[in-house]
Amino acid sequence: MGGGGVEDGTPGRRRDARRNRELLVAAAREVFAEWGLDAPWDVIARRAGVGNATLYRHFPTRAALVDAVFRDRLTGTMDAGERARAAGDAWQGLHTYLRAVFATLAADRGTNDLMTTRVEGVEALDAVHAHNRETMEVLLARGRAEGAVRGDVTVEDVLFGLAALGRAVPALTAVTGADAWQRPLALFLDSLRPPATPPSAPASPPPAAPGSQATSAPDLPGEALTAAQLGAVLEELGPHRAPKA
């Protein structure tokens, strides 16, 4: 079963090739979910029951295999984004969308790598990243207009925060539980809210009592990331490393 991947026109060989491709995609889906996208190819081939040569004949690059494995799953993320954009309330749409995304990040290390880093040459991934960015732009703009999102938050701020938090999700859920991501995501979402202000604050508010917290937040420090800088950060993060033996 280690060969038979070349389609030379013979019906039997074509059937073998299709079967081997299906076995490889199924095995890669399992291995990527467990190990992340850096999983060794010989592990994938061995689990599929074929030789490394067969794997390379069907998928000469890692990007080609990743695209075959995750294309349908990434389409589901885009569908969730469309539903979020159509929500009547921008904040509810944002909340529901990110919960759906993070549930996926927690369940599959391979998808986590795809959504929180940059992987070159995966056509489906390029499309989902662009769609995700558009979804965030739409929801943040509507949220600001509705007074639900602070005005100084940029799309890059949010995408960077989500990527950094998302990277920690596999380790967090492995140590604590499958739903452990809900608490940090709720805290992150809360940070996007406008600072609370009293309904009738005096012109010169009195000094805060020792130990108390201010009711409004200062402007965000530093410069916002550019789209190019965000891409460079995601590339530096890289895929999750394979688990220890």
* pLDDT of the residue at 27: 97
Residue 74: closest CA among 108, 47, 114: 114
Q: Given a cut of 50, is residue 169 above it in pLDDT?
A: yes
Whole-angstrom distance, CA of residue 118 vs CA of residue 129: 9
Residue 94 CB: number of other CB atoms within 10 A?
A: 24
pLDDT band at 170 (very low <50, low <70, confident <90, very high): confident
pLDDT band at 44 (very low <50, low <70, confident <90, very high): very high
Q: Given a cut of 60, is residue 88 above it in pLDDT?
A: yes
- Which of 28-37, 175-184, 215-224 reaches the highest mean pLDDT? 28-37
Q: Any alpha helices (H) in 8-122, and if so which ranges?
A: 11-35, 41-48, 52-58, 62-85, 90-107, 109-116
Q: Given a cut of 50, is residue 208 above it in pLDDT?
A: no
Whole-angstrom distance, CA of residue 154 vs CA of residue 134: 13
pLDDT band at 72 (very low <50, low <70, confident <90, very high): confident
Encoding tokens for residue 27?
């095995």
CA distances from 148 to 93, 94, 172 (A): 12, 11, 29
* pLDDT of the residue at 173: 83
In the chain, the percentage of residues whose pLDDT exceeds 90 is 49
Cα 198 to chain centroid distance, Å, stands at: 37
In the chain, the percentage of residues whose pLDDT exceeds 70 is 81
Residues 24-39: what's their mean pLDDT?
92
Whole-angstrom distance, CA of residue 158 vs CA of residue 136: 8
Q: Given a cut of 60, is residue 47 above it in pLDDT?
A: yes
The structure's pTM equals 0.73
